[in-house]
Amino acid sequence: MSKSEQFESFTLQAVGVVRNPRKEPIDDFWGDVISEIHLDPARFQPQALFGLGDFSHVEIIFLMDRVDPAKVETGARHPREREDWPLIGIFAQRGKNRPNRIGISYATVVGIEGTVLRVRALDAIDGTPVLDIKPHMAEFAPLGGVKQPEWSRELMRDYYKTEGSK
């Protein structure tokens, strides 16, 4: 196996932690959840967030650290264990039991105070380690139209709805 084909391990250090009222990874109704991302004060000063408030949205990369490694999926499964949806490979879905347990989510910027970023609709539970924060720029959105199967639209129907719209 050549060096370029080796599968390496990496160590990452969280840049911050999520604080919000969600204690369990519930699948739906993230639309009105307000989260605070507290940056690691030993590594970051308020300057790390300068300019981020000029963006409407951010991409948050986080570690789903409470997923039991024994429950990580590497093959295929029915999303949300619904037999009426097709058997889908782990890389064709966004379930939490991913091989590296990494989540990526877009959230709306609500405000910034010091080293705390406040966002809406981040689907990460309280205490989740944040690996990175990036501003969302339209130029990084997919080129052309987005294609996705109907089962995924049904799965996401209530995901970002608000609690009041149940």
Q: Return per-residue pLDDT of the chain as tens, 166 residues.
A: 566 678 889 999 999 999 999 998 878 777 788 999 999 999 999 999 999 999 999 999 999 999 999 999 999 999 888 999 999 999 999 889 999 999 999 999 999 999 999 999 999 999 999 999 999 999 998 888 889 899 889 888 888 888 777 6
pLDDT of residue 95: 87
**Structural domain harbouring 113:** 13-137+148-159
pLDDT of residue 1: 58
- 77 in helix, strand or coil? strand
- Quick one: pLDDT at residue 65? 96
The residue with tokens 């690691």 is 40
pLDDT recorded at residue 2:
64
- 26 falls within a domain: yes
Q: What is the pLDDT of residue 81?
A: 87
The number of distinct structural domains making up the chain is 1
Structure tokens at 49: 């967030």
| Residue 11: predicted pLDDT | 93
**Does residue 133 belong to any structural domain of this protein?**
yes
Task: Report phi then psi at 71, rounded to 5.
Answer: -100, 5
pTM: 0.88
Alpha helices in the chain (DSSP H): 150-156
Specify if 22 maps to a domain.
yes
Does residue 105 belong to any structural domain of this protein? yes
Q: Is residue 143 part of a domain?
A: no
Residue 73: CATH number of its domain? 2.40.30.70
